Structure 1
């Protein structure tokens, strides 16, 4: 059963990593996973919080940082060392199939911390902003998805790594959003 799932995961990885290869994705998708590319968005979120939510912005930003921290801690420090799955770009069975679009890194693969963190942040922000700005739902989910998909395309994660990261991040985002909603009336 596990071997069948791993083979399916490797086959799906190659269909995305090699099968969708094209110059536009080779340019775009490495950018999508780069934290510096998204810095203007993060700055916008902070400014937007202060403009729309005034003093409560400190609480929103604090909870947003806690959401990110919890996601990163859970994925990178707790689960990855426990599972110790090799990244596809470091897998000797795939050495002839990997297109090196970004540096591989030496860390483990499961779950994707990028997927975990960005889904956690997206879900949290959806719950915070949805009442005032409905487009945050599709935009937030697409943003988290494209970053997660990019991880597969560039060769640093298997599809199951990003799916698990998305599920973990969604759970964390829901938990922190729930805490935010419970404490919000007291502010």
Structure 2
């Protein structure tokens, strides 16, 4: 196929790339599709058009921290989950509390986490978070012992369908037990094409 000549053809190229890539595509990645012949503003316009085109379909185009991706709409998750006989990974309350503390107060040390939670942090929880690439060591605090400082990663943002940390639910939402927060990780068993 020759280089796309109009915005309709360019939109089709974008759509094909987004539907077939296993990872979110950044704007820079998408610009490579057009050999430098497209402006960022045009690319954003085409992404907005694609998002609108898919608004009534079973898939949606979403932006996460690493870029853009297609994923199945949430209402189809129970059906898609039937394709994988393995149970989706469940995370303990302690792990999710630890992750929330890191996300909202980063960078933090294990001591900071223990102070907030009121209990010692299980080393396996920190190991799981590091192995899942949801957190990373971003430095050491300049105090005796130089404890590691932890912060969330782009993978955390991508897996929770967030573009930035500012999209996290407000801390006030956690103070009201009648509010059910639906912050769940995006896993292979959850609705996604990738």
> Which has the bigger relative contact order, CA under 8 A and spacing at least 6?
1
Higher strand share: 2
TM-score by length of 1: 0.24
TM-score by length of 2: 0.24
